[in-house]
Structure 1
Amino acid sequence: MAARQAEHSAQAGLLRDIFGNPFRSVTLSPSWRASTAVALAAQMYESRDFSAMPILADVLQDAGCDNADILDHCRDADAPHVRGCWVADLVLGKE
């Protein structure tokens, strides 16, 4: 039973990483898409290594991002991050 619950929790975490909160729409201001942010997101996306998500939060914040949903998602050390992460997709301009 505990293994099933752990699996459901892991799957829910992945869904939150890919889709975000469906009840709170988030948009990324074009001014936050600094070249450093785009390059970092592209590197993470291609390598499938999302350990630099907290750095992406710093870069976005330096570019003027003040959206708590975006910054908190990037800085959440307990959240899984995978290819298709909604924040990386926003930075890269993917729909």
Structure 2
Amino acid sequence: MEAATGAFNVTQAALLRDIFGNPFRPVVLAPEWRTETARALAAQMYESREFSAMPILADALQDAGCENTDILNHCRDSTTPHVRGCWVVDLLLGKC
């Protein structure tokens, strides 16, 4: 029973990090990073609730000049579950 509770808590923590990011290291998205490609990818993921394109979004952001490691690492981390409300996607779409 304790193992199941521990796994549940780990999953919940990962989801909270996906939605809120790190509250001790707030990120400001530079306007030039909101390219048409980045916004289109973010909108597609938001609407479909399918986030497998997150690494592609990281590439698009990097092509736009983003060097923020919090953003790029979040997008490229294959162990992070992504859900509607992902802080990076919401920043790009102006939802937060």
Aligned residue for 2:30? 29
Q: C-alpha displacement at 1:44, in angstroms?
A: 0.2
Aligned residue for 1:38? 39
After TM superposition, the score normalised by the length of structure 2 is 0.98
RMSD: 0.4
Segments of 5+ residues of structure 1 without an aligned counterpart are none
Moved over 2 A (4+): none
Q: C-alpha displacement at 1:11, in angstroms?
A: 0.2
After TM superposition, the score normalised by the length of structure 1 is 0.99
Aligned residue for 2:76? 75
Aligned residue for 1:54? 55
Give, in whole Å, the separation in 2 of the partners of 1:4 and 1:79. 19
Give, in whole Å, the separation in 1 of the partners of 2:28 and 2:94. 11
Aligned residue for 1:18? 19
Paired residues, number:
95
* Identity between Structure 1 and Structure 2 (%): 73
